Amino acid sequence: IGATSDPCSSIYAGPYAFSEPETRAVRDFLLTNRSTLVACITFHSYGQFLLHPWGYTSDLPEDHEKLMFVLDHVVAVIQSTTGKQYTRGSSTNSDSDQLFTDEAAGGSDDWAKAVAGLPFSFTFELRDHGLHGFLVPEDEIEESGREMFAALNELQSAI
């Protein structure tokens, strides 16, 4: 769902799940350490979204309210740090019509929650809203880093 078999596409899913050494390394780390981990955060670009599972279905997880509570805190701290507004929601349901609503399989946040069993799993879609696509201007990189540092500090406090 939401991927392609075209290896030249930005939404290429790969030949099979965990086909690449990097994804296998992350998988193995999470499975080996899941008894001591409580969260998994994946950083993407772009869109200024803070997302929780599920991405493969429009159904919400049972702990949706708890996940939204955490994301509300993170959105607020980013706003107070840099003035940037991030939208929060599930990968297929948000407060914004800008968010893609098509289901997409293979998200690491879905896998970390459903398979590795981590209670908190999020995808942070970094700057910007799409004006520059995947190429964030150099003068925004440091500020984006401050946002995410503040976001991660708030996240660990909220969970």
User: Residues near 59 by Cβ (< 8 Å), separated by ≥ 6?
Assistant: none
State whether residue 97 is helix, strand or coil: coil
Q: Which of 125, 138, 140, 147 is catalytic?
A: 125
Are the C-beta atoms of 117 and 32 separated by less than 8 Å? no
Determine the length of the chain.
Answer: 159
- The pair of structure tokens assigned to 37 is 């981990």
The reply to whether omega before 54 is within 30° of 0 (cis) is yes
* Dist CA 125 CA 40 (whole Å): 14
154 is catalytic: no
Q: List beta partners, residue 52.
A: 90
Burial (0-12, 13-18, 19+ Cβ within 10 Å), 152: middle
Catalytically active residues, by annotation: 125
